[in-house]
A and B are shown apart, each in its own frame.
Chain A
């Protein structure tokens, strides 16, 4: 089970990013738990300045945009 957190202020892009990750995970049949984190304090603790940002198992993977589908796949499939 991968713990995935989407960091962002709850804007439309962050919601889209979370939904996209869920759908890609379902497609690849990878078990994930996607949560959204809107607290500015937590976002700051990852050193993120442009949202949405994606954290997987506590590692910052991406920030500043909705990630590409292919990119998400590579995260989910690698070392799972």
Chain B
């Protein structure tokens, strides 16, 4: 079904624009047309249908579910909910405080917030259709594992001590019994449709520019960086290439949708999977603007801890995946 986009790109790039196949520019333009048309099509369809399904899932219900859960279950479920519950980054502070004042441990809350940018259902389905199920599965598992392990670590070091005073007080005086389900349990199809339509407009207006940037970058890599160079210099998963990829990803900022075409291109060039994932996750999750937001509820010390924790886990994951891949 998706071959139609390859044909469209063949026609536009080679027939209409008269570019030569296998030339640098021809390849780059072909990649750009194929990926933008494919991604936009998939996005429109997927966002709508996924939103239809999860219209009844809201943040209040997630909190009520997580409150009072066994800790271990809490980390896993917090991380999974982080992946599937949509929220805009401007809501991360109210969510943090809502969870905290509901008595949910900081680690579980952070498992939720750390996984959220890394994995979302749209990104997973896009990955699935572009780079195949193996890499998608690895990506999703790594994202969840980082959220779970990060959450556990934060509770281990008693991260609640490092919250801003008012947030710490809210946690200490929390009364989980007071929280109540505010979301409606059943909703009509019309309401689902309205919700899905709003979600589509909302996500699309936020994401479209990242698709162009991501595909543009992917296309440039695809057309102009020779495979032999990547394979010769980075292809064996040299140990230093992973931390380098993570550091390079910090100043670059994209969301999970924009980074997928870059991933596709890097893997196509023979960059090992560990290095590629380390780079992409660092681009998506370690972004200064969103970290600074958390300063409202955390001290610098905790903020720095979480940042270093993220960078370290991306690096370790990259090393492990490269090692497994090589052998």
Query: How many B residues touch A, CB cutoff 8 Å?
Result: 21
Question: Could you count the A-B residue pairs with CB atoms below 8 Å apart for me: how many are there?
Answer: 52
Mark out the residues of chain A between 34 and 80 whose CB falls within 8 Å of any chain B CB in the assembled complex.
Answer: 40-41, 43-44, 47-51, 64-65
Stretch of B58-66, B233-241, B259-267 that contacts chain A: B58-66
Q: Report which of A10, A13, A44, A65 forms a contact with B94, defined as CB distance below 8 A.
A: A44
Contacts of A49 in B (CB 8 A): 59-60, 63, 91, 94-95, 97-99
Mask of B78-108 contacts with A, CB within 8 angstroms, 1/0 = 0000000001101101110111010000000
Once A40-B97, A43-B97 are accepted as A-B contacts, the answer to whether A11 and B90 lie under 8 Å apart by CB is yes
How many angstroms from the CA of A53 to the CA of B250 in the assembled complex?
32
Mask of B198-210 contacts with A, CB within 8 angstroms, 1/0 = 1000000000000
How many angstroms from the CA of A8 to the CA of B293 in the assembled complex?
13
Contacts of A11 in B (CB 8 A): 88, 90
Q: Does B280 contact A (CB under 8 A)?
A: no
Q: Does B170 contact A (CB under 8 A)?
A: yes
Mask of A2-27 contacts with B, CB within 8 angstroms, 1/0 = 00000111110110000000000000
Contacts of B41 in A (CB 8 A): none
Q: Report which of A8, A41, A44, A47 forms a contact with B90, defined as CB distance below 8 A.
A: A8
Q: Report which of B60, B94, B99, B166 forms a contact with A51, defined as CB distance below 8 A.
A: B94
Which 6 pairs of residues, A with B, have the shortest CB-CB distance? Answer: A11-B90, A49-B98, A44-B97, A9-B90, A49-B59, A49-B94
